[in-house]
Amino acid sequence: MLTPPSPVSTTIIRFLPSIGRICGLRLIFSCFIYSSAHAIIDLNYNGLSDAWELKFSTGSLAPSADSDGDGFTNLQESIAGTNPFNPASIPAAAITFPSAQRSDAQWFGESGKYYSLETSPNLTQWTSAVSAIGAGGLLKTSVATGGAPRFFVRLRASDLDSDGDGLSDWEERTLGFDPIRVFSEGLGNSSSTPSVRTTDFERVRDLLKKTAAHTITIATSDATMSKDWPDPGAVVIRRTGRLDPVTITFTLTGTAVAGSDYAPSSSGTATIPLGADETTVTFTPLPRTPPEADKTIIVTLQPNASAGYTLGNATSATLTISNDGKPAAKAVARFLTQATFGPVDQEIARVRSRGFSGWIDDQFKREPNLHMPIVQTWRNEIGGDPTPTAEIDHRLEAFWRQAMRTDDASDPLRQRIAFALSQIFVISDRMDSLNADHRGMADYYDTLLRGAFGNYRDLLEAVTRHPWMGLYLSALVNRKADPAINRFPDENFAREIMQLFSIGLWRLNPDGTQIISNGTHLDPDGAVVPAGEPIATYGQSQISVLARIFTGLMYGTRFTTPTDFTEIPVTTFSRSNGVPWRPMRMFDLEHDMAAKKLAFPGIAPLELPARTASVPDTGAAGEADLRATLDYLANHPNVGPFISRLLIQRLVTSNPSPAYIGRVSAKFADNGTGKRGDLRAVIKAILTDTEARDYGPSKSPTHGLLREPYTRFVALARAFNAAPANPKSAGGRYRGFGTLNGDFLQRPLSAPSVFNFYSPDYRPPGAAREYDLFSPEMQITNSVSSISVPNRFSGAFAVTSSDANATKFNTATQSDNPATPDVDESSWNTRADEAAWLVDASGDPDILVARLDRTLCYGNMSPATFRAITRAIRRLADPMGTTDPAVRDQRGRVRLRVAAHLVALSTDFSVLK
Amino acid sequence: MPTLISRRTFIGQASCAAVGSLGLLSTLLNLRMANAATAQSLTQVDDYRALVCLYFGGGMDSYNLLMPGSGAAHATYAATRGGIYDAKTNPEGLALSQASIRALTAHATDQFGFGVHPRCGDHGGAPGIQSLYGQGRLAFVSNVGTLVERITKTQFNSSTGKLPRGLYSHADQTQQWHTSVVTESTGIGWAGLAADLLHSGNLDSRVSMNTSLSGNNIWQTGQNIFAYSIGATGSILPSEYNTVTATPAVGLNNRVAIRTAAVDNLLQQEHQNLLDRTFTQNLRQSIDASAAFKDAFDGSAITTLFPGDVGYVPPATYTSPSSTSTGNDPAVNLGQQFKAAVRTMKIRAQLGLRRQTFFINYGGWDHHDEVIKTMDVMVDVVNRCLVAYWAALGELGLQSKATLYTASDFGRSLTSNGAGSDHAWGGNAFVLGGAVNGGRVYGSYPELALNGNRVVTTRGVTVPEVSVDEYFAELALWLGVPPGSLPDVLPNIRQFYTPSAVGPLGIMKA
């Protein structure tokens, strides 16, 4: 480890009273003390930080003078980090005594300065009561005075050098360095095994010594704009050689006209601030005019010797504004991020040609690409499994094959909606009995795929009748009561079908807000709900009735024997050899035949008459009860707003406005032709709503959702066209994807409980909770998974000594030898198609990262993210720095993998806005 | 060097407060100041205490964990539960036979001749639940549950007593067992509130005193402090990320340094969007806490064998789940979580923690079906993990410094639904530790007849005698919450108990 340079100034303590007054019997006295830095950079040895001198352009100042006459010397202001020319910028705390017991202090905390609030009973013995580090905002605190008659408070400011590199934390923050790292930017050169590296102190020192002109270049960071979507284009103006601010002059030419075609963030000049090495100028396209040819904006740097810079190689950058009458590519990519597992070029083209609504209509017409057939054939592919069951790998293989499809018969909207539905109508292979045969799991998923574009009522029945749901929530083999032996119907399914699959816990208005009692509303037991309180949709009595209704369900189809898999109808109330993928049927023998009354508050009750058991037992009586009850549930006014909100949360935003929910639930109530429960209408309403589609709402601080770990991973896989590296048979195998749940806390149909991976009402600690926002996906984002998820992305792009040409989507230690594909199937990898990226990855990092932005962040990457990633990539070995094509490719792959990992880790990719 | 991390964490939090709507006091400033009084009660240096919550997710059928063993009382229990279970002759019965249950050492207050589930025996010569009770290390709390106020059977039947919100519902009752607040939905748990009070007593710690082995949870979420999650193998760091503590040697892989800088740069951004901000804060804090935690934890070894350790011998009767494709042997999962908790206790000094809480969730108790067969496996898993946990505490000399308590969504119906039981209300829990006045059953175990004076509805729901507030008050006081601050942690406690230095039930030694 390098030894940090010695401090360049000695410790100075200053003591200066600034505020003092008498309040009641207490003597109030407060003051500001300064300790100078242990380490500041001071090349001119005047005791003032050079960074401070640069920040305020002080030139040569006398440390003992008070240039702005605010009562603080320049030295004191330099220690406090305040402006020596602004009398309002002073290093003083406002100290008050609002009560005999308390003193409050408030001051502006400069970034990186260390503050200590000290108290004393007598002005001689001082005790530190509170310490804090400034972050460029107000710091407020209070101390208990204990009611003492005399109580003194003072504030001490000083510098820290957390990383011991010779620059104070304030200097590092001011200059854009990392105060806790000696090497803020990694290494200072591009060799992969450097022998020399430059510390932050050395870099600043060397830059401060430079007096030559800045060298200025320009590049596009976001070259595409559309009149259909006001997301701005951007250029980056960079400088090398200096730290001090510089203002650059540029001209705007091209066929586009400023003011009518676009609005620039600044016209004519741009300033690179102190410490920074680049600045961004953005261009916002102005609203649509009739379709026309592309227009260009050409930004050209102008020399300006008097401003202290010269121009480098790249002096102009060109941006394009398209206006072809079709949806903007960025807007389409964003749409597909909501509506599918991730945008790919083919799908973007389909949406652009059909329009949003037309594309959705086309998706509705497509046949479902089911999972079960793949589970069945895949067992044959791998050589036949002697047992008639399927395992988790089989099912996930089917999931991945269908989720990855981009061909003309693909159904990306349906696949995505089914995944959303699988988190509403939850079953989970974490229950052993379900895990025992994944054919039941796969067929349940297919039930959701088939029902995704149908009617809610039909889907509810299909889910209710599915034997794997029956197993999961113990509706299968649910027998009528036998009070003689204290046996009563199972309440599990009865409860959850209401709470989770249909009406929820509280009565809702059509816009999803809770109905609040006016003092006459009744609760489920008929008691008055006090005014101002929400109203439960159901209570224990409704659960008991519903549990009786769901008695008598049993497998509908069985295998003939444990070894003869010929399917035959089930004719007695027995679960033996049940077929996991055929619907359950009713048996009147075990169905409660008595009259039942299901009464929800606020709507007319359902009266089921006493019934007579069918002979032979066709279950006709039970079926009649079941169908009537599902009708009744599906018609409850809560269903529309309840289900609409859950689907919006999966696809578009965690915190939809009531108006948005209201618009969608209106479509649930009536699809436009008088039909209720039409999921096509609901899906279309969700995805075409102004809150989902318009640019303005997307910029609201509360808009969006944290993308699920699993959907993020599929999106990455799609973006890089990941495919099995060694196809043993058609389609190959997505080896390794099944083990993702440990890192992700998520996997299709594998939630910890029927309450899904997360609650729709989860409010995470931090900013979201301060503003009372939901963020369900944050519930599985803890201090382990928040790191393990991006690590998995990193693993997907792992670079190891043995895999010069492979991008592995599975991190297990597997060989990657194509010469032995059949020896051990565990060696099969899933690889990204890096070849399609190599040209961009080998060239200008700006172009590579801009493409990643388009592909993974729908062009929404922030300038700061773009800057952080391009800086990193530029520091990696330059592919164009060699003439050896093999080395060039390898360097390009390294750049691609690092860039993709960083994008995958960024909030720009993780949060869908 | 580790202090550098705490500075950055500090910066992050101060920054958050400076721009956030909470406004007045920055998070840690507030904590250090507002709790000076609390901190004074924690001035002694070596007074470590750890509270472990073992949560049985799904609602354990705890009337089959602790049950009457004496003749008449057992007969009543058996009758209500549909008779003694027998796979062939009475598969719908939910009662365990007198012969199979394990008798607990009688206590003077014991009117029922209590027994525990058959799987509560010793393992490998080390004590299990039955023996720990006999040794006075373990106490049961009977018929404990969520309460707005004390309520009688008559009040319940006439709907004149106030009931907890969402009674019988998993989501609501789980939340209430985490918060003790039964009248509204809140995401703030009582261990989180306790940590808000107590964290300042810890010595300059970078890591939250609330450690979760089971991810985010409400119990440990406070206004300012929330859980730091670790896995069975501790904490992890980002791939190719250089921690501050690692010496940045010359020649170190260039790519690592570049990635590290880029990750730090990405996480330094300020965001307008609140989900962006939440995501970024979360990742930054996770990385910093893990950097502070990882080295100490990785070096923390114990010799006691837990399920899943090489050399651990499970009982001959135990068969791990057949499906190897998921690799989810619950004994291994739970055992390794316990082991990670004990290993974390061992490094308390390096973490600067004098108070800690641990959250361990063991789910899958929603036994609407096959309750007898499944509980047979699951109670065995719990018991064996506790055997190892207790032995490991003994290895570290921490038996009197760590207290474990159990909680679950609710008890289950006494009557059968065929082969399982349904959601109910009161249930039985236990507390384990050297600081426990063990060997007895606290509260008032109900008479289990369907016409018993605490039993309501045809399904056999027990109306709780002891409120969760009282139960938690015992534990909060032991952890160090001053009696005067108890209502800040358990808002409804005064409904049941006037806070003082003596706990409401007397479970914990002074």
Distance CA B187, CA B174 (A): 11
- Which range has the top average pLDDT, A638-652, A781-795, B269-283, B329-343? A638-652
Query: Is residue A760 over pLDDT 70?
Result: yes
* CA separation for the pair A739, A344 (Å, rounded): 25
Which of B170, B282, B286, B294 to substitute to test the interface with A, most A CBs within 10 Å?
Answer: B282
- Single out the residue of A152, A411, A794 nearest to residue B238, CA to CA: A794
Residue B175 identity (one-letter amino acid)? Q
Listing from the earlier edge strand, what are the strands of the sheet with A262-264?
A: A262-264, A278-285, A233-240, A214-222, A309-311
CB contact under 8 A, B229 and A181: no
Give the pLDDT confidence score for residue A485 in this predicted structure.
87
Q: Say which residue, B243 or A771, is predicted with more confidence.
A: A771
- The DSSP string of A221-266 is EE-EEETTB-PPEEEEEEEES--S-EEEEEEEESSS-BTTTEEESS
Quick one: which of A325, A160, A876 has its CA closest to B256?
Answer: A876
Mean pLDDT confidence for B27-37 = 34
What average pLDDT does the segment A27-39 reach?
A: 46
Among A362-366, B24-28, B153-157, whose mean pLDDT is lowest? B24-28
Structure tokens at A836: 């399609």
pLDDT reported for residue B378? 95
For the ranges A384-393, A730-739, B444-453, the maximum mean pLDDT occurs at B444-453
Measured from the Cβ of residue A42, the count of other Cβ atoms closer than 10 Å reads: 19
Please give the average per-residue pLDDT across A201-230, as a whole number: 88
Asked whether residue B274 is domain-assigned, the answer is: no
Phi, psi of A469 (to 5 degrees): -70, -40
- A180 and B323 within 8 Å at the Cβ level: the answer is no
Longest dimension (CA), chain B: 79
**Confidence category of residue A186, pLDDT binned at 50, 70, 90:** low
Q: SS3 string of A319-364? A: EEEECCCCCCHHHHHHHHHHHCCCCCHHHHHHHHHHHHHHHHHHHH
Is the predicted pLDDT of residue A332 greater than 80, yes or no?
yes
- Gap between the Cα atoms of B277 and B280, Å rounded: 5
Q: What is the pLDDT of residue A197?
A: 63
What letter represents residue B485's amino acid?
S
Residue B425 lies in a domain: yes
Structure tokens at B262: 């880029």
Cross-chain residue pair A193–B16, CB shorter than 8 Å: no
Segments in A452-563 forming alpha helices (H): 456-465, 467-472, 492-499, 540-549
For chain A, which domains are there?
Answer: 13-175 (no CATH), 210-322 (2.60.40.2030), 723-912 (no CATH)
Confidence of residue B320 (pLDDT cuts 50, 70, 90): low
SS3 A735: coil
Is the pLDDT score of B189 beyond 80?
A: yes
Which pLDDT value is given to residue A30? 39
Tell the residue number behind the tokens 């586009």, with chain if given. A256
Q: Strand B138-145 and strand B427-432: pairing?
A: antiparallel
Which helix (H) or strand (E) covers residue A118, if one does? strand A114-120
φ and ψ at residue A396, rounded to 5 degrees = -70, -30
Asked whether the beta carbons of B395 and B303 are under 8 A apart, the reply is yes
pLDDT digits (tens, 9 = 90+) for A217-231: 999 999 999 999 999
Q: Give whichever of A32-41, A800-809, A891-900 has the largest mean pLDDT.
A: A891-900
Could you tell me the pLDDT band of residue A725, with boundaries at 50, 70 and 90?
Answer: low
Predicted pLDDT at A380:
63
Share of chain B above pLDDT 70, in %: 85
| Most distant CA atoms of chain A, gap in Å | 107
pLDDT band per the 50, 70, 90 thresholds, residue A523: very high
pLDDT tens digits, A488-497: 999 999 999 9
Contacting residues for A601 by C-beta, under 8 A, at least 6 apart: A507, A521, A522, A523, A524, A535, A536, A537
pLDDT bucket at A613, cuts 50 / 70 / 90 = very high
Query: Would the pLDDT of A772 be above 50?
Result: yes
Give how far Cα B401 sits from Cα of B345, B394, B396, B398, B509, Å.
10, 10, 10, 5, 12
Reported in sequence order, the residue ranges of A520-637 that DSSP labels E, i.e. its strands, are 553-555, 557-559, 567-569, 584-586, 596-598, 606-608
pLDDT at A816 over 70: no
Touching B: A residues 793-832, CB under 8 Å? 794-795, 799
Q: Taking the alpha carbons of B139, B142, B147, B151 in that order, is the dihedral positive or negative?
A: negative
DSSP code of residue A841: H
Kindly tell me if the per-residue pLDDT of A20 is higher than 80.
no
Q: Give residue for tokens 């029902």.
A: A451
Question: What is the DSSP code string of A165-214?
Answer: SSS-HHHHHHHT--TT-SSTTS-SS--SS-S----HHHHHHHHHH--SPE
Confidence of residue A296 (pLDDT cuts 50, 70, 90): very high
In the structure, what pLDDT confidence band is assigned to residue A41 with cuts at 50, 70 and 90?
Answer: confident
What is the percent of chain A with per-residue pLDDT over 70, rounded to a whole number? 87
Cα distance between residue B445 and residue A69, in whole Å: 78
The shortest CB-CB distance from A794 to any of B32, B231, B240 is to: B240
pLDDT at B46: 62
Mean predicted confidence (pLDDT) in B389-415:
97
Asked if the structure places residue B437 within a domain, the reply is yes
Write down the mean pLDDT value for chain B: 85
Average of per-residue pLDDT across B159-163: 87
pLDDT of B399 > 80? The answer is: yes
What is the model's pLDDT at position A462?
A: 98
A with B: how many residue pairs have Cβ under 8 Å apart?
Answer: 360
**Cβ contact, residue pair B262, A701, below 8 Å:** no
Evaluate whether ipTM surpasses 0.95: no
Examine the pLDDT at A12 and tell me if it is beyond 60.
no
**pLDDT band of A795, cuts 50, 70, 90:** low
Measure A253 CA to nearest chain B CA, in Å: 32
Please work out, in degrees rounded to the nearest 5, the angle formed at the alpha carbon of residue B84 by the alpha carbons of B81 and B88: 120
Residue B225 near residue B193, CB atoms below 8 Å:
no
Q: Is residue B352 part of a domain?
A: yes
- Say yes or no to pLDDT of B70 above 50: yes
pLDDT at A610: 97
CB A141 within 8 A of CB A104: yes
Report pLDDT for B321: 62
Residue A190 has pLDDT above 80, yes or no: no
For residues B146-160, one letter each, b for 16 or more C-beta atoms within 10 angstroms of the residue's C-beta and e for the rest, the string is: bbeeebebeebeeee
Share of chain A above pLDDT 90, in %: 54
Contacts 24+ apart (CB under 8 A), A356-359: A356/A327, A356/A687, A356/A688, A356/A693, A357/A684, A357/A688
Question: Tell me, what's the pLDDT at A739?
Answer: 57
**pLDDT score for B204:** 55
Q: What is the torsional sign of CA B227, B232, B236, B239?
A: negative
Written as one string, the DSSP assignment of A16-81 is EEEEEEEETTEEEEEEEEEE--SS---TT-SSS-HHHHHHTT--S--TT--TT-SS--HHHHHHHT
Q: Which of residues 651-710 of A touch B (CB under 8 A)?
A: 654, 699, 701-706
Residue B248: is the preceding peptide bond cis (ω within 30°)?
Answer: no
Cα–Cα distance between A910 and A515 in angstroms, integer? 34
CB-CB contact of B44 with A160 (8 Å): no
The pLDDT score that the predictor gives to residue A334 is 98
Lowest mean pLDDT among A60-64, A630-634, B403-407: A60-64
Q: Which residues of A touch B225 (CB under 8 A)?
A: none
Q: Tell me, what's the pLDDT at B195?
A: 92
Q: What backbone phi and psi angles, to 5 degrees, belong to A540?
A: -60, -35
The least confident of A335-349, A822-836, B403-417 is A822-836
Q: How confident is the model at residue A536 (pLDDT cuts 50, 70, 90)?
A: very high
Please give the pLDDT value at position B125: 93
Tokens found for residue B132: 């720990």
Q: At residue A27, does pLDDT exceed 50?
A: no
Given this model, what pLDDT does residue A28 score? 36
Asked whether the beta carbons of residue A162 and residue B269 sit closer than 8 angstroms, the reply is no
Owner of token pair 């206590």: B107
Tell me: pLDDT of B441 over 60: yes
- Within a domain: residue B116? yes
With an 8 Å Cβ cutoff, is A784 touching chain B?
yes
| A423/B398 Cα distance (integer angstroms) | 43
Q: Lowest-confidence range among A783-797, B16-30, B284-298?
A: B16-30
Q: Please state the φ and ψ torsions of residue A885, each to the nearest 5 degrees.
A: -60, -35
Range A639-664 average pLDDT: 98
What is the average pLDDT across B66-80?
95
Beta bridge partners of B18: none
Distance of CA B280 to the CA centre of its chain: 28
* Radius of gyration of chain A measured on its C-alpha atoms: 34
> Mind listing the pLDDT tens digit for each residue in A366-415?
999 999 998 887 666 555 454 566 778 788 889 999 999 999 999 999 99
Residue B278, in any domain of the structure: no
**Nearest beta carbon to residue A784 from set B30, B92, B229:** B229
Partner B contacted by A150 (CB < 8 A): no
Q: What is the number of domains present in chain B? A: 1
Enclosing domain of residue B124: 52-240+300-317+327-495
pLDDT of B180 over the 50 cut:
yes
CB A271 within 8 A of CB A245: yes
Selected residue of A429, A479, A486 to mutate for chain B interface (largest B Cβ count, 10 A):
A486
Sequence-distant (6+) residues with CB within 8 A of A71 are: A18, A90
Return mean pLDDT, chain A.
Answer: 85
Chain A positions in Cβ-Cβ contact with residue B273 (cut-off 8 Å): 701-704, 911, 913
According to the model, what pLDDT value does residue A757 have?
Answer: 93
B112 in a structural domain: yes
Residue B254 counted as domain residue: no
Residue A51 has pLDDT above 80, yes or no: yes
Q: Give the integer Cα–Cα distance in Å for B110 and A661.
A: 57
**Which tokens hold the place of B319?**
């068969």
Q: pLDDT grade, residue B236 (50/70/90)?
A: confident
17-76 in chain A: CB under 8 A from chain B? none
- Range of lowest pLDDT (A145-154, A327-336, B72-81): A145-154
